[in-house]
Amino acid sequence: MIRGQIVKETGGRFFVKTDDGERMVCSARGKLKEKGELYVGDIVFVDDDGSPVIEKLAPRESMLVRPYVSNIDGIIIVLAVQPRPDFLLADKMIVGCVQQQLDAIVCVNKCDLDGSDELVAKVKTEYGAVADVVPVCAADGTGMQVVREMVKGRFFCLAGQSAVGKSSMINALCGGDRMAVGGLGKNLRGRHTTRHVEIIELGDGTKIADTCGFSRYEIPLVDPATLSGCYVDFDEYRNQCRFRGCTHTVEECCGVKEAVAEGKLPEERYQRYLALYDEMSRRWEKRYG
Ligand SMILES: Nc1nc2c(ncn2[C@@H]2O[C@H](COP(=O)(O)OP(=O)(O)O)[C@@H](O)[C@H]2O)c(=O)[nH]1
Ligand SMILES: [Mg+2]
Ligand SMILES: [Zn+2]
């Protein structure tokens, strides 16, 4: 059997790039397809006797849900002055990265727009301790080389709200018009949006995937008691909590809360942590309560 990676999927047809660099259009063995079990990024084994069929799926190193993509090494989270940044969404994506042991890069795109300096400063405050923060401008190429170096030889997925400029960044990274770029207006939605995930190769083993804009990002349900473990910026303060297993919510003598009060941890990120903690508690209660 031939080993390869699914780089694209449309209507049940899988585009597989083999280890030898060949591209094949494959169908999938019914058993695999029925469960909706094949995703872009999957390493598969193809039986080719005229019409190639995917027979087997290799174990996944990582798996993202909404957007569905497997075996990535990291996520490039894109924010911009416009549309207004959704920091809770970014927090969730970073939690997802910690859970899946993925690298997180936060790009502030559209740095040509007014208010970008302030946003970059804010994003550095919020995420500087947990991710690389890179100001970029897909429109004129600013910062793209920095991103290119960071992702070199690995597989990253772009993620973020619709219209932050993910497709534009891919185009800037590969120096072409690979992805259709949409507008900000609602009437344009659906016309130019990225509907599928596709792996694009940038050379020297670097792979990148665009994802459709999404306003929701689902992180796997975690026990709320363990959520704060995904906040690595809390790490240096949690040993000052009085209670072992402190959730940093209602407990007294909490090192994390003290760090927030002293301005050592960003207040807004902590407030969003509380919101996410509540959300997880509700989901957890519904499932196991
Ligand atoms: N001013 C400015 N506009 C940008 C930049 N990058 C993308 N855009 C615009 O933002 C809109 C959405 O871009 P698109 O790449 O489709 O965003 P996506 O939905 O995240 O893939 C388009 O109108 C782009 O021209 C940038 O660096 N500066
Ligand atoms: Mg797009
Ligand atoms: Zn605590």
The CATH number for 165's domain is: 3.40.50.300
Is 216 contained in some domain?
no
- The reported pLDDT for the residue numbered 171 is 93
Among the atoms of ligand 1, which is closest to the Cα of residue 181?
A: 16
For residues 52 and 80, state if they share a domain: no
Segments forming the whole domain that contains residue 26: 2-57
- The reported pLDDT for the residue numbered 74 is 96
| Domain count within the chain | 3
Looking up residue 234, the CATH number of its domain turns out to be 1.10.40.50
Average pLDDT of each block of 10 consecutive residues along the chain (289 residues)? 93 92 92 78 94 94 82 96 95 92 97 98 97 97 97 95 92 82 50 65 92 63 91 96 96 98 97 96 92
Is 25 contained in some domain?
yes
Q: Residue 170 corresponds to which tokens in the numbers above? A: 């891919």
Q: What is residue 242's three-state secondary structure?
A: coil
CA–centroid distance, residue 246 to ligand 3 (Å): 5
* Prediction pTM value: 0.91
Question: What is the rounded distance in angstroms from the CA atom of residue 56 to the CA atom of residue 11?
Answer: 19
Is 202 contained in some domain?
yes
Is 78 contained in some domain?
yes
For residues 195 and 69, state if they share a domain: yes
- The reported pLDDT for the residue numbered 212 is 61
- The reported pLDDT for the residue numbered 206 is 96
Ligand nearest the Cα of residue 160 is 1
- The reported pLDDT for the residue numbered 218 is 66
CA–centroid distance, residue 243 to ligand 3 (Å): 7
Ligand nearest the Cα of residue 235 is 3
The set of residues, in sequence order, having a beta carbon less than 8 Å from that of 235 and lying 6+ positions away, is none
